[in-house]
Chain A
Amino acid sequence: MLATSDAAAEAAERTLVITRVFDAPRALVWQAWTDPDQMVRWMGPRGFCSKVLRMDARIGGSYHFYMRGPNNDDHWQVGVYREITPPERLSYTYAWADAQGRPTRPETVLTLILEEQGKQDQSDSVSSAVRLGHRARPPSRRMGSSLDRLSEYLAA
């Protein structure tokens, strides 16, 4: 039951926001996200294996991913790249789809912001903070780019 106004506020923003810090330079995180061979090594929940059917990582380019779940359940995702600024910003549309790449669920927008946090303490380790925003996209686009508003939201 979603009873608190906090949870309602998150729902109101139509955006799931997750921030993670990785013990890795930003360039490595970027590659893991944009190189199909690396992406299949980690994309999807535990027990899923994935395959990149198409990945044209340039603005306006599209992708089609396949995922098999732990119960041999089949899933596909499709979307279009909207922003690619290596190694700091990546944004693409995202929808569950069928084997032919036709969306079966409402389209959403994923935005990643990567920040390198520099060397911490005395060790040589470099860490990177990744802010992931996953937004349910409103069908009307009358209020300008929802992407701009998302970046403002993520930057706040």
Chain B
Amino acid sequence: MVQHARESGRLNATFAALADPTRRTILARLAAGEASVTELGEPFAMSLPAISKHLKVLERAGLIARGREAQWRPCRLEAGPLKDAAKWIEHYRRFWEESLDRLDQYLWELQKKEEKNARNK
């Protein structure tokens, strides 16, 4: 119980951090490489403190890490939690896509059988 509550909490932190379009844009930018807070703020009509707030949410969710240098604290993407979220979706995508393939086949066979029975009557 404890283990999957923890796992669920971690996934939720990731999902909550991803729910905001500004934060998603920031992550997409960081996928191309490290960037400073100023660079990350450029595409947005937003104050630096507002951008910093978003970065804190991403950092808390473990989605990004920040450098130690006092002035230039480059942000970089941390792939782990994103991979976990993607893994969750991929796990179920495979499960359902393959189940639905089998359902499609089953429905086809079922209807063939019904047609045959109707013809034989």
The residue of chain B having its C-beta at the shortest distance from the C-beta of A3 within the complex is B31
Is there an interface contact between A12 and B31, defined as CB atoms closer than 8 Å?
no
Q: List 13 A-B contacts (CB under 8 A).
A: A1-B31, A5-B24, A12-B18, A14-B15, A20-B104, A23-B108, A32-B106, A38-B106, A44-B95, A106-B8, A132-B96, A138-B12, A139-B8
The residue of chain A having its C-beta at the shortest distance from the C-beta of B8 within the complex is A106
Is there an interface contact between B99 and A42, defined as CB atoms closer than 8 Å?
yes
Residues of A within 8 A of B (CB): 1-5, 7-12, 14, 16, 18, 20, 22-24, 28-29, 32, 38, 41-46, 103-106, 108, 130, 132, 134, 136, 138-139
Q: How far is it, in angstroms, between the C-alpha of A105 and the C-alpha of B2 when the chains are bound? A: 10
Q: How far is it, in angstroms, between the C-alpha of A7 and the C-alpha of B98 when the chains are bound? A: 21
Contacts of A44 on B, CB cut-off 8 Å? 95, 98-99, 102
Residues of B within 8 A of A (CB): 4-5, 7-9, 11-12, 14-15, 18-19, 24-25, 27-28, 31, 77, 79, 82-83, 85-86, 88-89, 92-108, 110-111
Is there an interface contact between B15 and A12, defined as CB atoms closer than 8 Å?
yes
Is there an interface contact between B98 and A10, defined as CB atoms closer than 8 Å?
no
Is there an interface contact between B98 and A32, defined as CB atoms closer than 8 Å?
no
Nearest CB in chain B: distance from A118 CB, A: 17
| Residue from B15, B25, B77, B79 within 8 A of A11 (CB atoms) | B15
Q: A11-B18, A132-B96 are in contact. List 7 more A-B contacts (CB 8 A).
A: A1-B79, A2-B86, A28-B107, A43-B102, A45-B99, A134-B96, A139-B9
Is there an interface contact between B11 and A136, defined as CB atoms closer than 8 Å?
yes
Contacts of A139 on B, CB cut-off 8 Å? 5, 8-9, 12
Contacts of B25 on A, CB cut-off 8 Å? 5
